[in-house]
Amino acid sequence: MPDKNKRTKQIIMDWVSEGVFDAFEDVISIHDTDFKVLYQNQGHKNMVSRHIGEYCYKVYQSRDNVCENCQLAIAFKDGKVHTREQVRTTDDGTFFFKITSSPLKDSTGKIIAGLEVVKDITKRKRAEKALATSSEKYRLLVDSLQEGIWALDAEEKTTFVNNRMAEMLGYTVEEMLGKKVFDFMDERGVKLCKEKVEARKAGVKEQHDFELIKKDGSVLYVLMEASPIKDEDGNYIGGMAAVIDITERKRADNEVWESRSTLKQILDTVPQSIFWKDRDSVYLGCNKVFAIATGINDPEKIIGKTDFDLPWPREEAEAYRMDDREVITTGRAKRHIVEPLQQADGSRLWIDTTKVPLEDKQGRVYGVLGVYDDITERKKTEQKLSASEEQYRILFNKNPMPMWIYDAETFYFLDVNEAAIIHYRYSRDDFLSMTIKDIRPVADVPDLLRALSNITSGPSMSGIWRHKKKNGSIITVEIFSHGITYLNRPARLVLSNDVTELKKAEYDLKKYRDYLEKLVKERTNELELQKITLEQKNIALREIIGQIELEKNKIKENILGNIEELVIPILRQAKVKGSGDKLIELIEQNLRKVTSSFGVRLSSKKLKLTPREVDVCNMVEKGITNKEMSDLLSISIQSIEGYRKNIRKKLGLANKKVNLISYLRNLR
Distance CA 632, CA 635 (A): 8
pLDDT in tens, 530-546: 888 888 877 877 887 77
Mean pLDDT, residues 30-54: 88
Per-residue H/E/C for 444-507: HHHHHHHHHHCCCCCEEEEEEEEEECCCCCEEEEEEEEEEEEECCEEEEEEEEEECHHHHHHHH
Is the CB of residue 667 less than 8 Å from the CB of residue 599? no
For residue 600, the model assigns a pLDDT of: 46
Q: What is the pLDDT of residue 569?
A: 63
494 contacts: CB under 8 Å, gap ≥ 6: 403, 404, 405, 406, 436, 479, 480, 481
Q: Which of 359-363, 447-451, 553-557, 563-567 has the highest mean pLDDT?
A: 447-451
* Residue pLDDT, tens place only, 73-103: 999 999 999 998 888 888 888 888 888 999 9
Q: What is the pLDDT of residue 408?
A: 92
| Cβ contact 660:620 at 8 Å | yes
Residues whose CB falls within 8 Å of the CB of residue 185, separated by 6 or more in sequence, listed in order = 193, 211, 212, 213
139-151 average pLDDT score: 69
pLDDT, position 20:
55
What burial class does residue 614 get, using C-beta atoms within 10 Å of its C-beta: 0-12 exposed, 13-18 middle, 19+ buried? middle
Is the pLDDT assigned to residue 583 strictly greater than 50? no
pLDDT at 279: 94
Regarding pTM above 0.75, the answer is no
**pLDDT mean across residues, the chain:** 83
